[in-house]
Structure 1
Amino acid sequence: MFGAIARRLFGTANDRIVKGLKKDVEAINALEPAMIALSDDELRGKTEEFRARLADGTDLDDLLVEAFAVVREAAKRSLGQRHFDVQLMGGMVLHNGKIAEMRTGEGKTLVATLAVYLNALTGAGVHVVTVNDYLAQRDAEWMGRVYRFLGLSVGVIHHGLDDDQRRAAYGCDVTYGTNNELGFDYLRDNMKFRLEEMVHRPFNYAIVDEVDSILIDEARTPLIISGPTEDNSDLYRLVDRIIPLLVEGDYEKDEKQRAVTLTEQGTEHTEQLLVEAGLMKEGGNLYDITNVSLVHHVNQALRAHKLFTKDVDYIVKSDKVVIIDEFTGRMMDGRRYSEGLHQALEAKEGVSIQNENQTLASITFQNLFRLYPKLAGMTGTAMTEAGEFQEIYNLEVVDMPTNRPVSRVDADDEVYRTAAEKYEAIGTLIEECRTRKQPVLVGTTSIEKSELLSELLKKKNIPHQVLNARYHEQEAYIVAQAGVPGAVTIATNMAGRGTDIQLGGNLDMRVRLELSEITDDAERAGRIKAIEAEIETFKAEAVAAGGLYVIGTERHESRRIDNQLRGRSGRQGDPGASKFFLSLEDDLMRIFGSERMDSMLRKLGLKDGEAIIHPWINKALEKAQEKVESRNFDVRKNLLKFDDVMNDQRKVIYEQRKELMQVEDVSDDVAAMRHEVIGELVARAIPERAYAEDWNTASLHEEVLRVFNLDLPIAEWAKEEGIADQEIRHRVTDAADRKMAAKAAEYTPEIMRMVEKSLLLQILDQAWKEHLLQLDHLRQGIGLRAYGQRDPLNEYKREAFNLFEQMLNDLRERVTSVLAHVELRVGPSESEVQESLTPKAPRQMQESRQDPAFAAEAEQAGLSLSTVRNPATNPNDPSTWSATPRNAPCPCGSGKKYKHCHGAMA
C-alpha cells in the first residue's frame, strides 16, 4: 500500500529515468535550426569533426546532443523521416547500454541509428543484431542511407558469404548481422590457424533488435559446430520399428517438463521386442553397461514418437525433417536437434537419416553477448523478463512512452469448453469484421492450427492469407498488407516479423512490388501518387471500421508472445481492438488443470457455444504463464551455470590459440613443455626420497624411448655411485634438447619454428575437441549424482576441472612426442612446408542448434550430418577413390564403408 502511495507521489523508477532524458531532448531540438542551415557537405563534415574531438580526449557522452541532432537531420534528408522526441529518448537509452522497450510501430529501426552513429565514431565498430537475414539486409540497406550520408561505412553479414567478404563487412563502421552468423563466425575464428584468416575484430558495442527473442527465447540453445562420427542409421530404423508396438502403460509422459520415460512394465516389453529384433541377447538387461548405446537410441525414438508432432514441432520437406521455431513459427533450415533426436525423427518419418556429429566448438548466446564490453537492446516486450535481463546480462529495461497515446481496446478472454466451439466463435467474429470492412489479424501457435482455421474460413467463403513456415518467403508482403480494409491474415507467431501492419497498406512494399519494372520517372511518380491516394482512402475506411482487430486463438506459454501479437494493433495512436479465445482443450489450459474447471462449468450450467468471460480468468491464466516463464528461466540459468564452467576453459584455450598465432617463434613454449614432460616421467619412475633399488629404470627407459625416440642407458646411469634423480633428469633433458637442436640444424631453424607452431596449434585443437566430447558425456550423466545427495553442478565443476588439467598434461606429452618423431623430406622450401603444414578445415562441418525443449539436459551435444560423396570421386576410376570420407560407402559398390573396404588397403 505504501509503495503504491509513493509511486503516485514520486513516480516509478522508470518514470524518473524517462523524465531525466527530456533535458537532452530539449537541447537536441534547440540545435535543429542550426542543423537545417548546414549544407550536405557541412553536415557530413560533422563526422570528422566529432572524430577529431574524440581523439583530443572528448567523451562520447559529451558529443551525444550534437551527434543526435546531426543524425536526425541526416535521416530527414536521406530517408524523409524525422525522429520523434520519444525516439531520441530511446536512442539515449541504447547509448547508455540499456534495453528500450518500445511498442510496435514506434520506429525502433530508426531509433537505433542514433546510438549506432554515436558509438561508431570511435572506429571500433558497432554490431546491429537482428533475428533473420532478411531483416539484416533490409535494415543495412534502409538505415545504411543515413550512415553513408554521414560518411560511415556499412556492412552486412548473411548466409553464403566467404571469409574475405565477412572480414570486409566486420571491418566497416557499422555491421548488421544475425545472432547465429555472429556467433558461428566467432567459433570459426577460433578454429583458424592464422590471425589474418580471422574475420571478427575485437568486440566493442552491439545493439540487439528483438532483444527478448534473441537473449531470452533463443538463449536456451547453444551454438554448435560439429563434425561427422560413425554411421548408426540402421540402428535408428530398427529401434524406430519397436516404439509403435509399445502400449500406453509402457511409458509415462510429462507434458509440462517435455519428458517421457519407460515404466517398469515398458522396460520389460522393450527388452522383449529388442530380443525379437535381434538387437539384444536373450536374458539381457536393457540397462547393462554393454547396452548404453541401445538405451540412448530407445529414449530418443520414444521422445520422437511421443513428444514431437509433425507440422507443429517440425515439417517434412525435400526428404528432410525441418525444425519449426517454437517462437516465430519459421522453418530453421540447417538446424538440427541434438543427441540423435533428429535422427530418431528422420527414422520416424521415413526420410534419409544423416550421421550424428561430434562437437568441435560451442557457445551459448549468454556467453557470446557477454563478450561485448557494451551491450544494448530494443523490443516491444521486455518488461515481463526484466529480472532475467538484469541477472544474466546486467541490462536494465526502460519502458519508453509512446509517441501518441494507445487507443487499442483489449477485451477480456473468452473461454469455451471445446476447441470446436472456440473456432466457431472466432469464425463468427471474423465474419462480423468482414461485414464492416475491419482488417483482422488472427494469431495461432502452430502451423497445424493455422491450417485448421484456414479450412474453417474456406467453408465460410472468407478470403484470407496464411502466414506460417510453409509460406515464409511471402511474409513481408503478407504482413505489410494486413491493414487493408476487410483483409483477414492468419499468422503463426508474430514475433520478430520486422514489418509494421499499417492501416490502409504499406506504401514502400507496394511500390517495390507493383512498380519494379517501370523505369520512366514521370510514369513512376504518377503511379506512386495514385497508390498514395488509394492507401489514404483505405486507411480512412479501416479507421472508421475500428482499426486492426487482433484475435488470439489461444494463449502462448509466454506472456511476451501474446503481448507481441496484441501490439500489432493500435500503432501510432491508430484505433484497434484485441481479444483472445480459449478452450479447455488448449495446451496451456489442459496442462494446468482444466478438468476441474470443465466439471465446474458443467455444474454452473454452461451451454454449448457459450463462453465464460471474466477478468479473474485473465489473472489465473497470467499466473499459469508466469509459472512456465519461471521454469524456462530456471532452464536457461541452469544451462548458463554449466556453460560458465566450460566458458572459463574456452577463454583460456582461445586466448592461448590467439597468442600462439601472434608469435612467430614458439620454441621456448615447446622447450618448456618438453622439460615438464621429462620431469613428470622421471618423477613417476623415481619417486621422491626413494632408494636406488626402488627406482623403476626399465619403465623410464621405455617411456623415454616411446616419447622421444631416444635409447638412453638409464639402467647404467642408475648404477653410478651417488647419482640422484636430478642428475638423471638433467641427462635425459640434455639428450632430448640435443636431439631437437640437431633436427633444427638439419631442417633450418626457420622451418623448424614453422613446424613447431603448426603442430602445436593442431594438437591443441585435437585435444580441445576430445575434451569437449568428454564434457558432453560428463554433462549427460551428471544429473544422476543428485540421487547420491551430491550437487550435480559442484560435481561437474570438480570433474570438468580435473579433465581440463588432464587435457593440458596430455597436450604437453603429445606435442613433445610428435615433434620428437616428426620427419620432413629433405630440402623443402618454406612456402612448401607452410602449405603442407596448414591444416584444411574439416569437411562436412555443420553449424547447429539444440532443441530448446531439452537444452537443460545437455549443454553441447554431437549433432548430425549426412555423408556427402566427393563429386571428384569416380566409381569407375580407383585412382580417385582416396578422397572418399572413411565412413562413406565405398565407391566400388560393395555396400561396405570405405574404411572397411578399399580404404583399409590405403
Structure 2
Amino acid sequence: MGAFDWFWKAMGAQSERNDNRSKRVVAGADERTAQLTELDDAALAARARELTADGEIADKSEFLAILSVAATRTLGMTPYNVQSQAVLRLLESDVIQMATGEGKTLVGAMAATGFALTGKRVHLITVNDYLATRDAEWMRPLVSFFGLSVSAVTEKMGPQQRREAYLADVVYGPVNEIGFDHLRDNQITHRAETVQAPADVALVDEADSVLVDEALVPLVLAGSQPGVHATGEITAAVARLREKEHYTTDDERRNVFLTDAGATHLERVLGLDSLYSEDNIGSVLVRVNLALHAKVLLIRDVHYLVSEGKVELIDASRGRVADLQRWPDGLQAAVEAKEGLDVTEGGKILDQITLQALMRRYPMICGMTGTAVEATDQLRQFYGLRVSVIDRNKPLCRVDEPERVFATMADKHRAIIEEITRVHATGQPVLVGTHDVAESELLAEALGQQGIEVNVLNAKNDAEEARIVAEAGDIGRVTVSTQMAGRGTDIKLGGADGADHDEVAALGGLTVIGTALHRSSRLDNQLRGRAGRQGDPGRSQFFVSLDDDVVASGGGGEEVTAHPDEHGEVTSKRILRFVEHTQRVMEGQLLEIHAQTWKYNRLLADQREIVDERRATLLDTDKALRELSERAPDRVAELADLEAGVIEQAAREIMLYHLDTQWSEHLGHMDDVRESIHLRAIAKETPIDEFHRIAVREFRDVAQRAVDKAAETFRSVHIDDEGVHLDDEGLARPSATWTYMVSDNPLAGSGNSAVGGIGDLFR
C-alpha cells in the first residue's frame, strides 16, 4: 500500500471513528432530554452556562439535550438526531455535509450558540444579505434564550450600525461584507473608527462555495482617483471592428487580440502614425484594449446588467448583482462608454485580501454545505479541515437521470423545451437551472411561446427570490433560475405552506433540469439537491451539448466524431464518457488554480500580517511621534505650543498615510510582476520562486520608505490646533471607496489582471 493510499485510509478511519463517537454522544443526549424538559427556562439556561463555565463543554450529551429542548421551546423546532450529530461535529471544527432540506439553518444556530456559551464570538458567514438577515431574525429566540446577543451585518448598514452589530456574541454576515469591513478597518486613523470586533470562530454556510470556489477571487478595496477611460471616439472606432479581420480571441474567449489589420484600421480612423509608438502605447493603446475587451468579452445580461443608467456587475457564482462592485483598470469606464452611459471616476487599489487569507485569520473554522465530499482535498490542503458526512433523516428517493448529450446548442435547447413541456403537462413542478441571466430570459420567452407561465429568478429580480423559490414546488409551477447555490430557501412540495404536498408527491415530486454542466460537479449536485428533500420523491436531468463551455474547454480542443440521431441527440457511450472526462479535467484545473493561487498569495498574506502589526502599533501607541521626533526634532520644537495629543495624532495620521500608500503601491507592483512572471519560464526560472524572491526584496523597503516619506511630510505639512492638513499637500485619503471584482488565476496566460484574465470570472 502506497503512502498516499495509507493516508486516505487513515483519514477515512478517523472520520468513521468520529461519526460513531458522535452518534453515541447523541444517543446519550436522547436519554437526558426527558429529565431536562422538566426544568424551567431560567434553570435550563443556567445549566448550560454551568456546563461551559471553563470555556469547554463539560458534558456534550447533556449540552446537546439542552440545546434541543431550548430549540423546541423557542422555535417550535425539535432537532432530529442527525442534526444534533451535525452540531457536535461543527463544535469540533469539522465541515459537515448535510443534504438540502435537512435543516442546516437550525444546526448552524445551535452550534453558534454552543460556541458563544464557551466565551467565543462567532461569525456565522453567509453568502448574501438576505440569508444573514433572515437567519439572524429566525434564530434570534434560540440564541437569546441563553442570554446571548445576535445581530446581522448587511450591505446597507452604516459604520456605527456595523460597529454595534459586530459586538454581538453571534454575528450573521455575508462573507464579502465581513471581508470588506476588515479592509476598511485597515484604513482608519483613529482606533475608535474600528468597525469589527475580534471573532474567534468562523462558521461558514455554503462552506465549499466560500472556502473553495470564491477563494480564487480577492476582495479589493479601491479609492476614488482619476483613471484611464476609453474615450467616446475610441469606443466608436472599436465598435466597428470585425472579428477575425480586425481582432481574434483565444479558444475560451478569455482574451482578445488586435490583428495587424485592426491596428492599421484604427490608426487610420484615429489619425495616428502608430498605435505602438512611445507616445501612444501607454495611453491610446491602453484605451483601445479596454474598449476592445468591453466590446468582445463582456456581454450584457451575462456579465453585467444596465439598470437606471448604471452598469451593475453580475456575480456569476451566485446569480446575483454584485452590490458596490466594479471592474478596475478602466474596464468599468470602457463598458459604460460602450453602453452610452456617463463614465464614472476611476480608482486606485488601496488594499486587497483573498477569502482564503481572510478565513485563515480566524482561530477556528468550521462549516456546512450540501456538497463537501467533492471538496475534501481542497478543505484539507488549504485549511486543515476534516469533512463529516451527516446521514439524511429520511432515505433519498430522488432519481438522478444520466446526462442527455446533443451535438449542438440548438439541438439541446430544443430538447430542453420539449422536456419541460412534457413534464409540465403532468402537473409536476419544474425547476430549471441556467448559467446566466440571458439564458434564463431566452428560455422563459421560449416557454412563454408554448403557453407555459414561468417564474424567473435571476440577478434582475433577486429581491423576490424567497417568494419565487418557496413556491417553486407547487403544482404546475415552472421556475427558471440562475445559480441556485446559496439561495437558502427550501423548495417544499405543494408550495410554501405544503398544502398540496401529497398531490405533488404522487405526481413524482419536483423535477430539476440543468441546462449545462458546471465546471465543478459540486455545483451540479447543489442544483440536483433542490429535489428530494426529507425523503420526498423527485428527479433530476442535465442536458449537455458538445458546444458547451465545459466540454469545449475540458476537451482541450480534441475533435470528437458524434453520430446524433434525427433529434440531434448523441447516445454513444464513448461520447458520454468523453463528456464526463471533460468535467473532471475542469475540476482538476480548478484545484491546480487554487493551489497555485495560494502559493502566490501566501507570502503576501504573511507580509500583510507584518503591515497589520505595524499599523496597530501606530494606532495604539505614540510610536509615530517618537520615530518622527528622532528624524525631525526641530519640527517637534516648532510645534511645542500645540497640545501633546494634537501633535501625537498628527504624527499618527502622517505615518499611517505613508504606510498605507507604500503597501498599496507594493500590492500594485507585485500584481504587475505576477502578470508577467510566466515569462520567467522562458529563461528556465521557476516563476513562483522568482515571484517570492522579488516580493521579499521589494517588501524589505516598504516600511523604511514609509518612514522616510513621513519624515519629509512632517517637516513641511501645516499642523495647527485642528490637526494635520494633509489635503493641502495633495495627500488626502480617498473621499469614497468601493470594491473591485477581479480575477485571480495565475494559470491564465496573461496573468491575473482584470483585462488580461477577465473571462476567468465568468467561466
- Looking at structure 2, the residues matched to 593 and 762 of structure 1 have their Cα atoms a distance apart, in angstroms, of 50
CA distance 1:427–1:766, change in 2 (3 Å)? closer
For 2:565, give the aligned amino acid. Answer: K
CA shift, 1:358, in A, is: 0.8
Aligned to 1:311: 301
Alignment of 1:413 with 2:308, yes or no, is no
Aligned to 1:635: 593
Task: State the secondary structure of the residue aligned to 2:315.
Answer: coil
CA distance 1:151–1:203, change in 2 (3 Å)? closer
Alignment of 1:114 with 2:110, yes or no, is yes
CA shift, 1:836, in A, is: 9.3
Superposed CA offset, 1:337-396 (max 9, x none): 233333332232222222321111111101000000100111111222211111111122
Aligned to 1:104: 100
Alignment of 1:577 with 2:510, yes or no, is no
CA shift, 1:546, in A, is: 0.9
For the 8 Å contact 2:86–2:107, the answer to whether it is kept is yes
| Alpha-carbon RMSD | 3.2
Alignment of 1:544 with 2:513, yes or no, is no
For 2:703, give the aligned amino acid. Answer: L
Aligned to 1:258: 254
Aligned to 2:479: 489
Alignment of 1:816 with 2:711, yes or no, is yes
Task: State the secondary structure of the residue aligned to 2:365.
Answer: strand
- Looking at structure 1, the residues matched to 26 and 415 of structure 2 have their Cα atoms a distance apart, in angstroms, of 48
Alignment of 1:439 with 2:331, yes or no, is no
* Segment drifting more, 126-135 vs 771-780: 771-780
- Looking at structure 1, the residues matched to 629 and 466 of structure 2 have their Cα atoms a distance apart, in angstroms, of 60
Aligned to 2:467: 477
- Looking at structure 2, the residues matched to 208 and 150 of structure 1 have their Cα atoms a distance apart, in angstroms, of 22
- Looking at structure 2, the residues matched to 136 and 302 of structure 1 have their Cα atoms a distance apart, in angstroms, of 39
* Segment drifting more, 293-302 vs 359-368: 293-302
For 1:846, give the aligned amino acid. Answer: W
CA shift, 1:153, in A, is: 0.5
Q: Tell me the matched-pair count.
A: 752
CA shift, 1:205, in A, is: 0.3
- Looking at structure 2, the residues matched to 22 and 300 of structure 1 have their Cα atoms a distance apart, in angstroms, of 58
Alignment of 1:77 with 2:73, yes or no, is yes
- Looking at structure 2, the residues matched to 107 and 287 of structure 1 have their Cα atoms a distance apart, in angstroms, of 63
Q: TM-score, normalised by structure 2?
A: 0.91
- Choose the corresponding residue for 2:447, options 457, 481, 493: 457
- Choose the corresponding residue for 2:264, options 248, 269, 272: 272
For the 8 Å contact 2:51–2:58, the answer to whether it is kept is no
Alignment of 1:798 with 2:756, yes or no, is no
- Looking at structure 2, the residues matched to 645 and 569 of structure 1 have their Cα atoms a distance apart, in angstroms, of 43
Aligned to 1:886: none
CA shift, 1:617, in A, is: 5.0
For 1:660, give the aligned amino acid. Answer: L
Task: State the secondary structure of the residue aligned to 1:361.
Answer: strand
Aligned to 1:706: none
Task: State the secondary structure of the residue aligned to 1:62.
Answer: coil
For the 8 Å contact 1:467–1:491, the answer to whether it is kept is yes
Aligned to 2:660: 765
Aligned to 1:657: 615
Larger radius of gyration: 1
Task: State the secondary structure of the residue aligned to 1:437.
Answer: coil
- Looking at structure 2, the residues matched to 558 and 40 of structure 1 have their Cα atoms a distance apart, in angstroms, of 47
CA shift, 1:622, in A, is: 2.8
CA shift, 1:78, in A, is: 1.1
Superposed CA offset, 1:827-859 (max 9, x none): x4xxx4489999986212212221467996666
CA shift, 1:468, in A, is: 1.4
* Segment drifting more, 374-383 vs 41-50: 41-50
CA shift, 1:257, in A, is: 7.2
Counterparts of residues 883-902 of structure 1 (less than 5 Å): none
Aligned to 1:611: 569
Alignment of 1:553 with 2:515, yes or no, is yes
Counterparts of residues 705-854 of structure 1 (less than 5 Å): 737=633, 739-740=634-635, 742-743=637-638, 745-747=640-642, 749=644, 751-822=646-717, 824-825=719-720, 828=721, 832-833=722-723, 842-851=734-743
- Looking at structure 1, the residues matched to 123 and 684 of structure 2 have their Cα atoms a distance apart, in angstroms, of 45
Task: State the secondary structure of the residue aligned to 1:422.
Answer: helix
CA distance 1:278–1:212, change in 2 (3 Å)? same
Superposed CA offset, 1:578-602 (max 9, x none): 111223333333445599877430x
Counterparts of residues 202-281 of structure 1 (less than 5 Å): 202-235=198-231, 237-239=233-235, 241-242=237-238, 244-256=240-252, 258-262=254-258, 266=259, 268-278=260-270, 280=272
Alignment of 1:187 with 2:82, yes or no, is no
- Looking at structure 1, the residues matched to 648 and 607 of structure 2 have their Cα atoms a distance apart, in angstroms, of 27
- Choose the corresponding residue for 1:647, options 602, 605, 614: 605
Alignment of 1:394 with 2:384, yes or no, is yes
- Looking at structure 2, the residues matched to 171 and 670 of structure 1 have their Cα atoms a distance apart, in angstroms, of 35
Alignment of 1:40 with 2:41, yes or no, is yes
CA distance 1:840–1:125, change in 2 (3 Å)? farther
Task: State the secondary structure of the residue aligned to 1:324.
Answer: strand
5+ residue gaps, structure 1: 508-534, 675-735, 864-906
For 1:345, give the aligned amino acid. Answer: V
Task: State the secondary structure of the residue aligned to 2:491.
Answer: coil
Task: State the secondary structure of the residue aligned to 2:591.
Answer: helix
For 2:586, give the aligned amino acid. Answer: V
For the 8 Å contact 1:422–1:583, the answer to whether it is kept is yes
Aligned to 2:759: none
Task: State the secondary structure of the residue aligned to 1:233.
Answer: coil
- Looking at structure 1, the residues matched to 240 and 122 of structure 2 have their Cα atoms a distance apart, in angstroms, of 53
Task: State the secondary structure of the residue aligned to 1:224.
Answer: strand
* Segment drifting more, 743-752 vs 295-304: 743-752
For 1:635, give the aligned amino acid. Answer: I
- Choose the corresponding residue for 2:348, options 354, 358, 378: 358
* Segment drifting more, 78-87 vs 592-601: 592-601
Aligned to 2:550: 588
- Looking at structure 1, the residues matched to 540 and 707 of structure 2 have their Cα atoms a distance apart, in angstroms, of 65
For the 8 Å contact 2:150–2:169, the answer to whether it is kept is yes
* Segment drifting more, 852-861 vs 608-617: 852-861
Aligned to 2:760: none
CA shift, 1:114, in A, is: 2.4
For 1:561, give the aligned amino acid. Answer: L
Task: State the secondary structure of the residue aligned to 2:202.
Answer: strand
Aligned to 1:24: 25
For the 8 Å contact 1:237–1:347, the answer to whether it is kept is no
CA shift, 1:651, in A, is: 1.3
* Segment drifting more, 565-574 vs 849-858: 849-858
